[in-house]
């Protein structure tokens, strides 16, 4: 979704990553609560922590990846030369996924 918003809709890096991650977050909350962590914690209690963790992960991961991507020039992926924004999205998604999982496991859906 982020690449569609970035490349096809022409949105900025921050807008595309924010909207893409927000959509994924809504689905993620219910899937992780129900299936991944099988949490019985109330929705109200876990939702506040969930949103806080998502926001921190988003800012941290996409800021780091944005800075890192600017220093990498001429990156080619599957025959396509990736722009700094596209590279930052790929790097950011990896960082975001790892730290978000840890935050949800240890801070949001704890038993």
Residue count (the chain): 111
CA dist list (Å): 98 to 9, 43, 54, 61, 105: 28, 23, 12, 10, 11
- Least confident range from 9-13, 61-65, 75-79: namely 75-79
Six token digits for residue 56: 């921190």
Question: pLDDT tens for residues 75-106?
Answer: 777 788 888 888 888 899 999 999 999 999 99
DSSP structural state of residue 105: I
Which parts of the chain are beta strand (E)? 76-77, 80-81
Over range 32-51, report the average pLDDT.
Answer: 91
Q: Which residue has the higher pLDDT, 85 or 31?
A: 31
pLDDT value at 69 more than 90: no
């Amino acid at each position: 979704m982020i690449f569609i918003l970035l490349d096809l809709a022409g949105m900025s890096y921050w807008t595309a990553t924010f909207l893409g991650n927000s959509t994924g977050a809504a689905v993620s909350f219910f899937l992780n609560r129900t299936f991944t962590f099988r949490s019985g914690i109330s929705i109200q209690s876990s939702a506040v922590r969930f949103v806080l963790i998502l926001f921190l992960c988003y800012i941290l991961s996409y800021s780091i990846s944005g800075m890192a991507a600017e220093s990498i020039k001429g990156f080619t992926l599957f025959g396509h030369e990736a722009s700094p924004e596209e590279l930052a999205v790929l790097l950011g998604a990896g960082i975001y996924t790892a730290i978000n999982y840890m935050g949800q496991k240890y801070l949001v859906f704890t038993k």
